[in-house]
Amino acid sequence: MSSTGGPPEPPSGSVRPTSALTLLGWAVVGVVGGWGFHPVADRLGFVPPLVSVGQPLALLLLGAILGYVAWITHRAVHVRHERLEAHQAVNRLVLARASALVAALVSGGYAGYAISWIGDAAEQADQRITGSLAAVGCGVVALVAALLLERACRVRDDEGADH
C-alpha cells in the first residue's frame, strides 16, 4: 500500500546486465569441476569420456539460435522501435541470462577438462584436449550471443542505468 492509502505502487527500477564478475565466477566453478572430473573418474575406475563432435556443435547451435533471437529482437526494439509484449521481453531476458550463465559454466568445465589432460601420457589425451578446446570456443560463441540477446532486450530507459 502506498503512503497515501491507495493501491500499492508498481516497483520501479531496471534489471542490471549480467556482470563480468558473475560470469567469471560461474566459469571458475566450471574449470574446477572440469579439472576435477578426470582424476575422479580415474580413481573410480571409469574411462574418462572423449569429447565428440556433437558436444561443440550443440553449443554452436545454441549460439546460433541465441544470435538469431538477439538479431530479431534488436531489429524490433532498436531499429523499428517496436515494443515487445511484456511476456516476450521477460522470456527473452530470462533466456539470455540463463544461457549466459550456463555457457560460462560449461565453457569453464570443458576448459578445466582440457587442462587436466595436459602432460598426460594417455593415448587419447590429445584428442580429449582438442575436443574440449573446440567446445570451449563454441561455448564462448554461445556466451557472446546470450549477452547480445540480453543487450537487445534493453530499452532506452535501461541504457542509462549502468553508465
For the chain, 163 residues long, the average pLDDT of each consecutive 10-residue run is 58 78 98 96 92 96 98 95 90 96 98 95 92 98 98 72 46
Asked if the structure places residue 68 within a domain, the reply is yes
Give how far Cα 51 sits from Cα of 23, 34, 57, 60, 79, Å.
23, 12, 11, 14, 41
Closest CA to 125 of 56, 48, 59: 48
CB proximity list for 106: less than 8 A, separation 6 or greater: 30, 59, 135, 139
Distance of alpha carbon 101 from alpha carbon 145, whole angstroms: 12
Domain range spanning residue 37?
27-44+51-156
Strands (E) across the chain are located at none
Give how far Cα 43 sits from Cα of 47, 111, 146, Å.
10, 21, 37
Asked if the structure places residue 142 within a domain, the reply is yes
What DSSP element (H or E) covers 130?
helix 125-152
Asked if the structure places residue 19 within a domain, the reply is no
| C-alpha 64, offset from chain centre | 13
Grid coordinates representing 49 are 569420456
CA end-to-end distance (rounded Å), the chain: 32
Distance of alpha carbon 99 from alpha carbon 96, whole angstroms: 5
Could you count the other beta carbons within 10 Å of the beta carbon of residue 94?
13
Asked if the structure places residue 162 within a domain, the reply is no
Asked if the structure places residue 12 within a domain, the reply is no
Number of domains in the chain: 1
